[in-house]
Structure 1
Amino acid sequence: MSNQNQSSARGGKGRLLLWVVLALTVALLSFVTYTAVRTNPLYSDRDTYGISKYKFIEECRDRLQDPAELQLSAGPGQEIPLLDAVRQSGQVRTGENVVVETQAEPRDIVSGVQAVGGGQLGLIAPVVIAIEGEDRQSRRPLGQATMQCSYDKSKPANERLNVVLGIGG
C-alpha cells in the first residue's frame, strides 16, 4: 500500500509540472502572436480607413489588371481613358493588348501606403505601360507612369477607390 502512495505523490508532482509548462507555453505563444500582429506592416485600423491596408493594396493592383478602366492624367483636371490615349498614339496593332504593371518592390508598396487627411488612404507607385503581343509572350514598353491610388470611405461604395496614372513616373 505504501508503494501506491509514493507513485501517486510522484505522479501528482509530474502533472503539476506538466500544467505549469503548458501554461507557460500558451503565455509565450500569446505574446509572440500579439507582437507579430502589432508589428505586421500590413496592419491598419480598418475602422478609421474603411478598408485594411492589405485589401487596399490588392484592390489597387486589381485595377491595374483592367486598363479599360484606368484614367491617364494629362494635366490638372484633365483625365482621359488610358486606352484612348494609347490608341490615338497608333502604337497598338490588331490583336494586341495594353498592359499596366507595377515595378515597385512589395516592401516599397507596403511602406508607400499613407494616411491622407480625413481617414483616407493613398498609394503612389511607379508603373510601366506596355503592349502585349497576340501570343501573350512578347511585350514592348510604351513608357513609365505613376499610379496614384486613393480610397475615400466617405464616398459611395462603388466610387471609394480611385486609380489614376500620371505621366512621367
Structure 2
Amino acid sequence: MSELTSSKRNGNLGRTLLWVAIVLSVLLLGFVTALTIRANPYVSDREANGVSKYKFLEACKEQLAEDEQLASLQGLLQQSGQLQAGQRLTAEIAPEPADLVASVQPAQGGGWTLNVPANIQVNGGGAPLGQLPFQCAHDKAQNRTTAQLQLPGGV
C-alpha cells in the first residue's frame, strides 16, 4: 500500500482543518450579514414616520400609475391627435433606486415626502416623451399617502 492510502495515516489534521474552515466561513457570513443590515437603505424609523420607507415608495409608485392627471393628459393628447386611440400613457419614477431612496425625506410631524421627476411614456415602452414633476407624501396623523403628478401650465 502506498503512504497516501495507508490505514496507518491519521486523518485528524484534515478533519481539524475542515472544522476551522467551517467556523471561519460562518463567522465571515455573520460579519457580512451584520454589515449589510446596517447599510440597508430601506431601514427607517417606522414608528416615527407611520410607515416604512419601502412601503411608502411602493404606495407612491402605485399612485403614480393610477394618477388622474395622467388620464387627463392622455385625453388632451388624444384630442389633439398626438396620441392614437389604442395608445396609453404610463408614468414611472425616473431616478435609479439608490437615488430614489436618497430622495425620500422625513416630514415634520411624522411621515415621508418625495419630490422626483417621473418619465412619461407611451404604452410603457420606448424612450420617454418627457418628464414631469412628481410629489408624494405620507401623513402619519391621517395614515394616508397622497401623490400628484404636476402637469405643465396647470392642465
Q: Same fold (TM over 0.5)?
A: yes
Alpha carbons 1:149, 1:161 under 8 Å: kept:
yes
Amino acid corresponding to residue 41 of structure 2 in structure 1:
P
| Distance in 2 (alpha carbons) for counterparts of 1:12 and 1:49 | 57
- Counterpart for residue 138 of structure 2: 151
Instruction: State the Cα distance separating 1:138 from its structure 2 match.
Output: 8.1
Amino acid corresponding to residue 145 of structure 2 in structure 1:
L
Instruction: State the Cα distance separating 1:139 from its structure 2 match.
Output: 8.5
Alignment of 1:1-169 (within 5 A): 10-68=10-68, 83-84=71-72, 87=75, 90-93=76-79, 94-129=85-120, 132=122, 141=129, 144-156=131-143, 160-167=144-151
When you count strand as a share of all residues, which structure comes out higher?
1
Pair 1:151–1:57, CA change in 2 (3 A): same
Q: Report the 3-state secondary structure (helix = DSSP H, G, I; strand = E; otherwise coil) of the residue aligned with 1:92.
A: helix
> How many residues are matched?
142
Alpha carbons 1:100, 1:128 under 8 Å: kept:
yes
Q: Report the 3-state secondary structure (helix = DSSP H, G, I; strand = E; otherwise coil) of the residue aligned with 2:78.
A: coil
Instruction: State the Cα distance separating 1:120 from its structure 2 match.
Output: 1.1
Which is worse superposed, 52-61 or 21-30? 52-61
Instruction: State the Cα distance separating 1:97 from its structure 2 match.
Output: 3.5
Alpha carbons 2:64, 2:148 under 8 Å: kept:
no
Amino acid corresponding to residue 161 of structure 1 in structure 2:
T
Alpha carbons 2:119, 2:128 under 8 Å: kept:
no
Q: Which TM-score applies when normalising by structure 2?
A: 0.68
Task: Note the alpha carbon deviations across 1:64-113, whole angstroms, 9 max, x for none.
Answer: 11133xxxxxxxxxxxx5544764xx433355534323332333212101
Instruction: State the Cα distance separating 1:16 from its structure 2 match.
Output: 3.2
**Structure 1: unaligned runs, 5 residues or longer:** 69-80
Looking at both structures, which has the greater relative contact order when contacts are Cα pairs under 8 Å and sequence separation is at least 6?
A: 2
| Distance in 2 (alpha carbons) for counterparts of 1:125 and 1:154 | 24
Report % sequence identity: 36
| Distance in 2 (alpha carbons) for counterparts of 1:64 and 1:103 | 12
| Distance in 1 (alpha carbons) for counterparts of 2:18 and 2:127 | 62
**Structure 2: unaligned runs, 5 residues or longer:** 1-5, 80-84
Q: CA RMSD in A?
A: 3.3
Q: Report the 3-state secondary structure (helix = DSSP H, G, I; strand = E; otherwise coil) of the residue aligned with 2:17.
A: helix
